[in-house]
Chains A and B, each alone.
Chain A
Amino acid sequence: MEKKIKVKICIGTLCYVMGGSELQLLEEHLPEELKKRVDIEGSICLGFCNSNEDEKPPFASVNGKCVSRASITKLINQIKKELEDGLH
């Protein structure tokens, strides 16, 4: 059984008001073939907002990798990238 891609969406105040609220709906926007390969959960503040001045919220993480200025499209692309990397 292949390991699922873990996606964490930060629901801290800052990320939420900077666009994170839309990311809650990621599941609905996933293409069919990806739905069973991905585990999506919310997360308390991931701390990215305080650690890196240059990266902008909203933040999410895909398999532990930080995604800044996250959007549904960006997250889907990162998920696909993880799947491809996993095949090598």
Chain B
Amino acid sequence: MGSNTFIEVDSYQFSKNGTHVCGDVFLSRKVKDENRVIAILSDGLGSGIKANVLATMTASMALNFTIENQPIQRTAETIFNTLPVCGTRKIAYATFTIIDIDCDGETRIVEYGNPSCMIFRRGELFHPEWKQIAINRKDTRDKSMYITSFISEKEDRIITFSDGISQSGMGTKNMPFGWGINDINKFAKNQIQRNENISASALAKNMVMQAWKNDLMKPKDDTSCGVIYFRNPRRMLLLSGPPYNSENDKKLASIIESFPGYKVVCGGTTSQIISRELNKDIQVGLSPNTLGLPPESKMEGVDLLTEGILTIGKVSEILENYNGEDINQDSPAHKIVKMFFESDEIDFLIGTRINNAHQDPSLPVELEIRRSVVKKIIKLLEDKFLKKINLEFI
């Protein structure tokens, strides 16, 4: 696996019609110092809160034990013995799929109870060798885990999903026995053929949306899909703050000019520097937006020009409160967040010249220090959204 491969992990889900909490849980974690990516999908018995509790416990335990490199048999037994027994059904049950990718691309998948994941390589299904492992369960539930291991390559995709997907459509005229593995394979293959760069995010969503349609817009079960895509990173550059030393103004401009990806400049003074160095005009907007932030501006060669500290503060807030919703609002901060989500590797180039006017004690609002807000954003992007971040102060 090349060193320039980015592992994009994303998921999408719908809860069973009529429930407010999804009984499927998808977790992912990037273990930074090991350069390791771990994703877990768990489907709790039943639906609603009870199922969510089972799935959450299972997924968290699976994740933590995997990070600690516990033997998989021990992980499974601990989970089975810890899950609370359902009062009605008299058993404790949740499925799990564990996908563990190390820094060399060595990928290990452990499956218990979930439909087997699809692995796509160069547009075709890839079938590694699976080993069956017997496990000890007191009740009559599944007694086998399936394990495989292989080296991932760039452009590989791993698609894991709960039975809400494979069983969608069951009982309808079109698919009386549900969507079925063969047709699911065909659907996923077709999605990848139509757009060979389709993001993990879009593919996961499309799978779930199709299952939703199969169920005539009323999901019969919790429906989840997680996708891992080994891709060329989509890059983004965010500039904010004038360089401490104005001799570096030229450097700032040349970096943004040659950057291959989304380019965003936050701040009036910074924008003026770029405008002057690159000899490009700024068209300043004046229309209000939903958040009441200062309006955005346009410059040729830059995707978005916004005000500085207020906008960045809002970006931090949106990221912190984000819970899976679609981003549709028109404010400059939302636009930046949307671009973050569509990128894999984000470079922050932050100027450290202090803006004295911001420290005026008679200001009606407290303007945070740019540096600390940016650090907060970076932490969220890394931990919550698994992005790769490069930070440089200038």
Write out the residue numbers on chain A whose beta carbons fall within 8 Å of the beta carbon of B18.
Answer: none
Interface centre among A18, A43, A45 (most CB of B within 10 A): A45
* Cβ proximity bits B201-245 to A, threshold 8 Å, 1 near / 0 not: 000000000000000000000000000000000000000000000
CB <8 Å contact, A13 and B295: no
Give the interface size bracket for A toward B: 20 to 34
Interface SS, B side? loop
Interface residues in A1-21 by Cβ distance below 8 A to B read 9, 11-14, 16-18, 20-21
- CB within 8 A of A42: which of B272, B286, B356, B364? B286
- Number of A-B contacts defined by CB within 8 Å: 65
Interface residues in A37-85 by Cβ distance below 8 A to B read 40-45, 49-50
Known: A11-B307, A17-B365, A49-B357. A24 touches B268 (CB 8 A): no
Write out the residue numbers on chain A whose beta carbons fall within 8 Å of the beta carbon of B285.
Answer: 42
CB <8 Å contact, A17 and B292: no
Is B308 part of the binding interface, using a Cβ–Cβ cutoff of 8 Å? yes
Shortest CB distance A44–B (Å): 4
Q: Please report the total number of B residues contacting A with Cβ < 8 Å.
A: 27
Q: What would 29 A/B residue contacts be, using CB atoms closer than 8 Å?
A: A9-B286, A11-B284, A11-B307, A12-B294, A13-B355, A13-B357, A14-B357, A14-B358, A16-B294, A17-B365, A17-B367, A21-B292, A21-B294, A24-B286, A24-B295, A40-B286, A41-B284, A42-B284, A42-B285, A42-B286, A42-B297, A44-B271, A44-B272, A44-B282, A45-B269, A45-B272, A49-B357, A50-B356, A50-B357
